[in-house]
């Protein structure tokens, strides 16, 4: 299990891949992403994250059941973020299980929601 908030010992930075769904910016552990592909109609879309404009891209990741494809609008790039800037999602808010935390990056005007891609596949499976 790749846990964004459990960095490997000896490192104080994590590579975060930032992507857009609609106008909303999200981040994910870059190591989860196998590749970026063209999206397919059957790719995962999560209405709670907002509806993609055209959703021409897909983040491809590995799951126990095989490859997962999350439809996104654009990939902004990967940046190394200090682990100190990452926070777990407060349990009190009881957010969706794939919303695992936020990145309090100084470059972003607001906290960026961190998504666990594998959890999205589970959620999708549930729907």
Partner 1 sequence: MATQARPEQEFFCFRVGDLRLGVPSENVLEVLRAGLLTPLPRTPSFVMGVTGHRGVVLPVVDLLRFLSKGEARIGPRTRLFVGVSGSFVAGVVADTVLGLRRIPVSDILPPPLGGDAAAEHLLGVVQASGTQEAINLLNFTKLLQTARQRAVAR
Q: How far is the C-alpha of 107 from the C-alpha of 97, rounded, in Å?
A: 26
CB 111 within 8 A of CB 103: yes
**According to the binding rule CB under 8 A, does residue 96 interact with partner 1?**
yes
Calpha distance 67→6 (Å, rounded): 23
Q: Establish if 49 lies at the interface with partner 1 (CB under 8 A).
A: yes
Query: Does 94 contact partner 1 by CB under 8 A?
Result: yes
Smallest distance from partner 1 to CB 106, Å:
10
Q: In the chain, how many H helices and how many E strands?
A: 1, 9
In whole angstroms, the minimum distance from the beta carbon of 48 to partner 1 comes to 3
Which tokens go with 118?
């594998």
- The answer to whether residue 16 forms part of the interface with partner 1 (CB under 8 A) is no
Asked if 98 interacts with partner 1 (CB under 8 A), we say: yes
Instruction: Give the residue carrying structure tokens 């654009």.
Output: 74
Q: Which is nearer to partner 1, 53 or 88 (CB)?
A: 88
- Of the pair 17, 114, the CB lying nearest partner 1 is at 114
- If one asks whether residue 95 binds partner 1 (CB under 8 A), the answer comes out as yes
Query: Is residue 103 packed enough to be buried (19+ CB in 10 Å), middle (13-18) or exposed (0-12)?
Result: buried
Indicate whether 79 belongs to the interface with partner 1 (CB under 8 A).
no
Residues near partner 1 (CB under 8 A): 24, 46, 48-49, 84, 87-96, 98-99, 101-102, 104, 109-113
């Amino acid at each position: 299990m790749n846990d964004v908030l459990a960095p490997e010992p000896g490192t104080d930075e994590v590579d975060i891949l930032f992507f857009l769904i609609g106008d909303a910016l999200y981040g994910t552990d870059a190591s989860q992403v196998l590749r970026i592909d063209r999206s397919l109609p059957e790719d995962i879309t999560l209405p709670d994250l907002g509806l993609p404009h055209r959703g021409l891209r897909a983040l491809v990741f590995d799951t126990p059941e095989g490859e997962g494809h999350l439809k996104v609008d654009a990939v902004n790039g990967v940046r190394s973020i200090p682990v100190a800037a990452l926070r777990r999602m407060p349990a009190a808010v009881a957010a969706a299980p794939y919303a695992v935390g936020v990145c309090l990056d100084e470059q972003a005007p607001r906290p960026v929601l961190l998504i666990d891609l594998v959890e999205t596949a589970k959620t999708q499976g549930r729907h």
